Amino acid sequence: MSEDEEKIVRLIKLAKEGDENAFEQIVSTYSSQLLRLVYQIVLNYSDSEEILQETYYRFFLSLRRVKAQDPYPFLRKIALRRSYTFLKRRKREVSFDEIGEIESNFFVDEKNLELKEIYEIAYKLSPKRRIVFILKEILGFEYEEIAKEVGISETTVRRHYQLAKEEIQRKIKGL
């Protein structure tokens, strides 16, 4: 076990015993990673921070069940599920201006699309297809990983991804 892993295990044990400082250190260790992940899904900084706060609150409530090991996979699962719930409830428009002109690896009729174009079209998908598509296509998650994190079967993930891809390709060809 590395020094960092030992430190995290120690912090989790202390946090379980009620040490607020230890919990805050765990939060600060993973905040930037989780904020980046959530932001790539919801595309709004203040909403991302709110989801992250809820993630840490839920993590705190379930701290007794957390094993004394790296809590990142557990935190990531909570954050992704909170992001999905947020997407289902979101009613307002999203600004894609901050994304910029970054090339992606997504092609339609041999045309390489910019990340901004993909997000603009992906945000017209249903929340479940959208989160599956973003996790797979933009963030590079594997099907099995998405299924585990979002809480649906791998077959369902594959189906949502395929339907999302087809819908996006239809919308791009229609432009």
- How do residues 99-122 score in pLDDT, each as one tens digit? 554 445 555 555 566 777 778 888
Residue 68's CB: how many other CB atoms inside 10 A?
Answer: 12
Average pLDDT value over all residues in the chain: 84
Please report the domains of the chain, with CATH numbers, ordered by start residue. Answer: 3-89 (1.10.1740.10), 100-173 (1.10.10.10)
**Using one digit for the tens of pLDDT, what is the confidence trace for 70-104?**
889 999 999 999 998 898 887 555 555 555 544 45
Which pLDDT value is given to residue 175? 59
Q: What average pLDDT does the segment 137-164 reach? A: 92
pTM of the shown model: 0.75
Q: Which residues contact 136 (CB under 8 A, 6 or more apart)?
A: 143, 146, 157, 161
Residue 124 and residue 135 in contact, taking contact as beta carbons nearer than 8 Å: no
- Judged by average pLDDT, the poorest of 31-35, 50-54, 138-142, 156-160 is 138-142
Residue 139, CA atoms < 13 Å, CB-side half-sphere: 21
Q: Return the closest-CA partner of residue 138 out of 30, 46, 29, 42.
A: 42
What residues form DSSP beta bridges with 114?
103
Measured distance CA(41)–CA(36) in Å, rounded:
9
Q: What average pLDDT does the segment 38-51 reach? A: 90
